[in-house]
Structure 1
Amino acid sequence: MAGNGIGIVGAGISGLTLALRLQQLGVETTLYCEGDAETLRKGRLPNTVGRSGHTLDRERALGSAHYRDPGAMMIDAMLSLKGDPPLEFTGTFGKAYNATDFRLLIPAFMDDFAERGGTIVVSGTAPDAEQVDRWSRRHELMVVAAGRRSVAELFPRDPELSPYDRPQRLLAAGLFHGMRPSDVFSFNIAGGVGEIFRAPIVSREGVVSGIIIEAVPGGPFEVITRLPWNEVAAALLPLFREHTPRLAERVEPDAFELLGPTDLLQGAITPTVRRPVAELPSGRMALAIGDAYVTNDPLTGQGANLGSRCAWIVADAIAAGGPYDAAFCRAAAARMWEVGGPVTHWTNMFLQPPAEHVMRLMLAAGTRQDVADVMVGLFADPVYAWSLLSSPEAVSRIVDGDGRPLYDRV
């Protein structure tokens, strides 16, 4: 490759997967990030992410398989929908999921990239569009995977693909002691109240429980998104007992607590799709990937998996050769949207009460193991998930027993 290769802004899973893959393919790459690996290790909890078997396969192919503790490898998931009687079922993902604190995982990826000869430039601050333009003068293409200021300035919101102008859930995520160990992912739904997820996660203190609260604004769980860290655990216990009884059964009340003040994340996300291609004043192009392109609510657990998949798509396109012009960027974005579109439509659907045919599928999963496996397996295959959940006819074929999906499409 002529010139100075590719510049990547952002050291999350999208940016680092892209950097490691380009490095593997022999493409010169420079990674720009706000903080170094040690700063990230000491920082606040950034998320509680579950990575699918397909994402783990990509990491293994990169030679960057880290923190695969057996206690945090989940092959099954249990869904519990509050009601009288409750709807419950357990199914298989098909391939094991893993959850690892990104304060461990992302620095490990950064170390891999640097130890293999990659260049990392630490900016110390969130870059703006002007900074991205200055960096671009050293490169043939800039790929932007993160950066609050630069993303907003370079890639405007696409109103046709962004139906929400405000968060649909208020969020809290934390790492907790005091829950009985389980390698089953727990998905708990309380209609009109919100969703609670529990998963084993590899932390700095070993395998603990990662809990995500998706609170409907104005509902009883909203308070958890505002409380000080040392009041969260006590406030959750009565809410679990009332709204997510299956989760409450796993709590050891006298031991239930957050690991510490930096192990809690509170906030909200407005689901947003951005126009992913920008021409910089330098004449170079900037292409958005990951959350810089598509930011979805974490309800369907697809953020990191979509970021990894899109990074792989873009890496292979770059390695095939330029010119890295507007046409190249538009083609790469279109290929990413083939995966990102179904994830976005599916997640936006699940932020609303379930459609009649989706409820029919869930009810069937409560009485038939084959349908339960279909339902849980959707999380490993978002393209198929949307093709099924958007079609009452496809759901009927599954429920009536004459259609079985495959889970190897992503």
Structure 2
Amino acid sequence: MRRMLIVGAGQSGLQLALGLQAQGYEVTLMSNRTADEIRVGRVMSTQCMFHTALQHERDLEINFWEEQAPRIQGLGVSVAGPVTPLGHPRLVDWVGELDGCAQSVDQRLKMAGWMDAFERRGGRLVIHGATVSDLNFLAERYDLLLVAAGKGELGSLFGRDATRSPYTSPQRALAVAYVHGLAPRLEHPDLEAVRCNLVPDVGELYVMPALTASGRADILFWEAIPGGPADVFEGVTDPSEHLALTLELMEWFTPWEYGRATRVELTDAGGTLSGRYTPTVRDPIGRLPGGGLVLGVADVVVTNDPLTGQGSNSAAKCAASYLASIVEHGDRPFDEAWMRRTFARFWATARHVTKWTNAMLAPPPDHIVRLLGAAGQLPAVAHRFANGFDDPADFENFFYEPDKTAAYLEEAEAAGAAEVAEDAEDAEDGGTDAADVGDAIDTASEAAEQVG
């Protein structure tokens, strides 16, 4: 029986541990905290997992919270316009339907539950903050060492890949609050949806339904441009002050979201989180002092800003990809060539996430402004953009290049006009003129361009 050591008990480390365990491997998992410490600790993330990532959990039968978590059926975008005496108006607002439901489960709940399941199934759980010297000592005792926790000393094992890492400093200051008491969106009160609110020169506010230990909750998540008016959370340690600042920013910059948040309260004393980090891609292989090799997992080697909500999704996809590579390799040595092939297999998916996230961190060019405006008039465009969160590879086809965006919008506008014309033929009063579709798109785009 082949022996595996995994350092890190997050989405990727635990999912991979449980997957290897199910395949008959002898797995040791190292975590710097117990399950109980995680349960009562501070929130760790703003995870929203989409269909493909969730299916990896279903395949392993570890989707324990599927029935309790809110079924997220849509993803919406709002764009704030220039400031007025009354604050920021909304220039763009739409929601696209997801092909498969998404969900968000508080990682305190999920990781603690998975750790318990791993132990129940016979896995060896070691509570210890691993160091480089620990791994150097253990290297000869295991067939493969995988590092799924990159903070602190272990992160130094994996050098920065400058060719894939355009940023050298944090591009957003992050602030999270888990709350109870948020009212539904008036535009779709019966539809659970993630809402992305873009505020030019300020940042983004995400609002997403979630499940936490105390039941259904919502996550309020500011992504503030460093040094901008929403970058106000550094040094704030009091949870009540954190929530008050969150709401103050919402009231001024996203009043349409603040209107449903006037009665919210924190889910618990650990329901806030703030910080910032630099998006970075690293060499996937770490070299130990004694010559042993370790393979980095998920965000240890591909760290993206949470702006596009891909962290847990990429972690789940990495764990599934690595699991397949390990099983397919059989009894052969896990040498450097295999490690590079294994990472390359994951990078084939992860590169799309990195490209899209880095693009979204920059001010939107004109063709993206037009795309977001058109989505408010053409449900097919809203649908495609929303489902890109599940499959970011599709953005290659219509997002990055102005010519591809223009061609796609022309095609979508023609299809929309044809649909309107067909409906009009069936209406006794003649219905809406199909040409109105194009006019509406132009109007929405002109409004959206005001944010530039």
Structure-1-length-normalised TM-score: 0.92
Cα deviations across residues 20-60 of structure 1 (Å, max 9, x unaligned)? 11122222221111112111111111112111111211111
Q: Secondary structure at the residue paired with 1:400?
A: helix
- Describe the superposition over 1:294-332 as per-residue Cα deviations: whole angstroms up to 9, x where unpaired: 111100000110011011111111111232000000101
Does residue 305 (structure 1) correspond to residue 313 (structure 2)? The answer is yes
Write the distance in 2 (CA, Å) between the matches of 1:365 and 1:97: 20
Contact conserved, 1:140 with 1:284, CA < 8 A, in 2?
Answer: no
Greater Cα offset, 383-392 or 20-29: 383-392
Q: One-letter code of the match for 1:28?
A: E
Match of 1:238 in 2: 248
Does 312-321 or 151-160 show the bigger shift? 151-160
CA distance in 1, matches of 2:134, 2:51: 36
Alpha-carbon distance in 2 for matches of 1:219, 1:76: 30
Partner of 1:43: 41
Amino acid at match of 1:264: T
> How many pairs align?
398
1:275 maps onto 2:283 in alignment: yes
- 1:157-190 deviations in Å (ceiling 9; x for gaps): 1122111111111011111123114622111110
Report if aligned partners of 2:68, 2:211 keep a CA contact under 8 Å in 1.
no
Superposition pairs of residues 3-402 of structure 1, within 5 angstroms: 4-69=2-67, 72-83=70-81, 86-123=91-128, 125=129, 127-181=130-184, 183-227=192-236, 228-251=238-261, 253=262, 255-320=263-328, 321=330, 322-401=332-411
C-alpha contact (below 8 Å) 1:284/1:325 kept by paired residues: no
Distance 1:388 1:293 in 2: 28
Using the TM superposition, give the Cα deviation of residue 388 of structure 1 relative to its aligned residue in structure 2, in angstroms: 3.3
Alpha carbon RMSD of aligned pairs, Å?
1.9
Query: What is the CA deviation profile of residues 357-377 of structure 1, one whole-angstrom value per residue up to 9, with x for unaligned ones?
Result: 222211210110011101111
Contact 1:144-1:289 within 8 A present in 2 as well: yes
**Distance change in 2, residues 1:33/1:387 (3 Å):** farther
2 CA distance for matches of 1:169 and 1:52?
Answer: 23
CA contact (8 A) 1:345 1:386 kept: no
Deviations 1:350-406 (A, max 9, x none): 1111122222211210110011101111101012224532233332332112699xx
C-alpha distance in structure 2 between counterparts of 1:85 and 1:347, whole Å:
23
SS in 1 for 2:156: helix
Q: What amino acid maps onto 2:282 in structure 1?
A: R
> Gapped runs of 5+ residues in structure 1?
405-410
Larger radius of gyration: 2
SS at 2:162 equivalent: coil
Counterpart in the other structure of 2:85: none
Pair 391,151 (structure 1): closer, same or farther in 2 beyond 3 Å: farther
Q: 1:115 to 1:71 in 2, by over 3 A?
A: closer
Change (3 A) 1:143 1:386: farther
Distance 1:178 1:50, change over 3 A: same
Q: 1:283 offset after TM fit, Å? A: 4.1
Cα drift, residue 11 of structure 1: 0.6
TM-score after normalising by structure 2? 0.84
The 2-side partners of 1:95 and 1:128 are apart by 40
> How big is each residue's C-alpha offset from its partner over 1:36-90, in whole Å with a ceiling of 9 and x where there is no partner?
2111111111112111111211111111112224562201112110126611111
User: 2-side partners of 1:189 and 1:377: how far apart?
Assistant: 18
CA contact (8 A) 2:78 2:90 kept: no
2:95 is paired with a residue whose SS is strand
Tell me the amino acid that sits aligned with residue 77 of structure 2: L
Moved more, 100-109 or 236-245: 236-245
Q: Cα offset for 1:151?
A: 3.2
Please, which runs of 5 or more residues in structure 2 have no aligned partner? 82-88, 416-452
Q: CA deviation at 1:282?
A: 4.3
Asked if structure 1 preserves the Cα contact closer than 8 Å seen for 2:48 and 2:312, the reply is yes
Matched residue, 2:420: none
Residue 288 of structure 2 aligns with an amino acid whose one-letter code is: L
Provide the identity percentage.
35
Provide the secondary structure at the position in 2 that maps to 1:223. Answer: coil
Q: What is the DSSP-based 3-state SS (H/G/I as helix, E as strand, rest coil) of the residue aligned with 1:172?
A: strand
For the structure 1 residues 305 and 149, does the alpha-carbon distance in structure 2 shift closer, same or farther, using more than 3 Å as the test? same
Amino acid at match of 2:250: F
1:93 and 1:379 in contact (8 A); partners too: no
Q: Residue 408 of structure 1 corresponds to which residue in structure 2?
A: none
